[in-house]
């Protein structure tokens, strides 16, 4: 069965997405879909780049600057609040605060890659490199001096990011999140 945008997004941090929606997979699907379809959320299609093969998504990059993120937080919360049942909404909103510990602030002169994923069927064909190369070029053309991302420290993609010139600049470990199967994360950056 072909992957969806949601599948690619979830693959970037499955343990986080599971925890954020308290294991409610239907709520996760509804919210991710609504966020993607919105023009205003921080997970909007307007901030993403999709590569398709035979009409199915096989590569995804989504990112923003610090200012763009902050401009979209209220819409992201509003969308979730309008579609989720109160218990899941309250859990999700409580989760957001923990990300301040796991993911360092985004510098004002940086582009932040929120999602970078490729389908397992096409990994090794250069799509991840293509998406990240486009990020580097697009951020330079916007006058941004850095590209940042956060990645699970056990994710094999860490080696790929190093190979394309990114370096680990910090590691965040949050014991509370570790109890929810969310390991430490690396902040990786490339200065341009």
**pLDDT for 123 beyond 90:** no
Q: Which domain holds residue 138?
A: 5-191
SS (H, E, C) 91-154: HHHHHHCCHHHHCCCCCCCEEEEEEEEECHHHCCCCHHHHHHHHHHHHHHHCCCCEEEEEEECC
Asked whether the beta carbons of 36 and 43 are under 8 A apart, the reply is: yes
Asked whether the beta carbons of 113 and 66 are under 8 A apart, the reply is: no
Asked whether the beta carbons of 103 and 189 are under 8 A apart, the reply is: no
What are the pLDDT digits (tens) for 68-89? 999 999 999 999 999 999 999 9
pLDDT band at 62 (very low <50, low <70, confident <90, very high): very high
Residue 45 neighbours by CB under 8 Å, 6+ apart: 5, 36, 37
Residue environment code for 102-113, b if the CB has 16+ CB neighbours within 10 A, otherwise e: bbeebeeebbbb
**pLDDT for 59 beyond 80:** yes
What are the pLDDT digits (tens) for 134-151? 999 999 999 999 999 999
Residue 131 neighbours by CB under 8 Å, 6+ apart: 49, 51, 59, 60, 61, 116, 118
The total domain count for the chain is 1
* Separation of CA 79 from chain center: 18
pLDDT band at 15 (very low <50, low <70, confident <90, very high): very high
Query: Strand 146-152 vs strand 185-191: parallel, antiparallel, or unpaired?
Result: antiparallel
Which CATH number do you get for residue 92? 3.40.630.30
CA 192 – CA 96 distance, rounded (Å)? 30
pLDDT band at 2 (very low <50, low <70, confident <90, very high): confident
> What is residue 32's DSSP assignment?
H
CA 176 – CA 180 distance, rounded (Å)? 7
């Amino acid at each position: 069965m072909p992957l969806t945008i949601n599948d690619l997004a979830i693959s970037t941090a499955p343990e986080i997405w599971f925890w954020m929606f308290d294991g409610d997979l239907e709520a996760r699907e509804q919210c991710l879909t609504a966020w993607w379809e919105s023009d205003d959320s921080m997970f909007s299609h307007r901030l993403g780049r999709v590569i398709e093969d035979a009409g199915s998504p096989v590569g995804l990059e989504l990112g923003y600057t610090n200012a763009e993120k902050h401009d979209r937080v209220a819409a992201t919360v509003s969308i979730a609040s309008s579609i989720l049942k109160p218990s899941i909404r309250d859990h999700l909103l409580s989760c957001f605060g923990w990300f301040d510990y796991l993911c360092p602030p985004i510098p004002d002169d940086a582009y932040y890659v929120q999602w970078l994923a490729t389908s397992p069927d096409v990994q090794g064909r250069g799509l991840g490199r293509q998406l990240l190369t486009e990020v580097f070029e697009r951020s330079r053309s916007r006058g941004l001096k850095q590209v940042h991302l956060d990645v699970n420290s056990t994710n094999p993609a860490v080696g790929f990011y190093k190979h394309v010139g990114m370096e680990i600049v910090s590691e965040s470990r949050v014991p509370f999140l570790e109890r929810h199967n969310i390991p430490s994360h690396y902040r990786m950056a490339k200065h341009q």
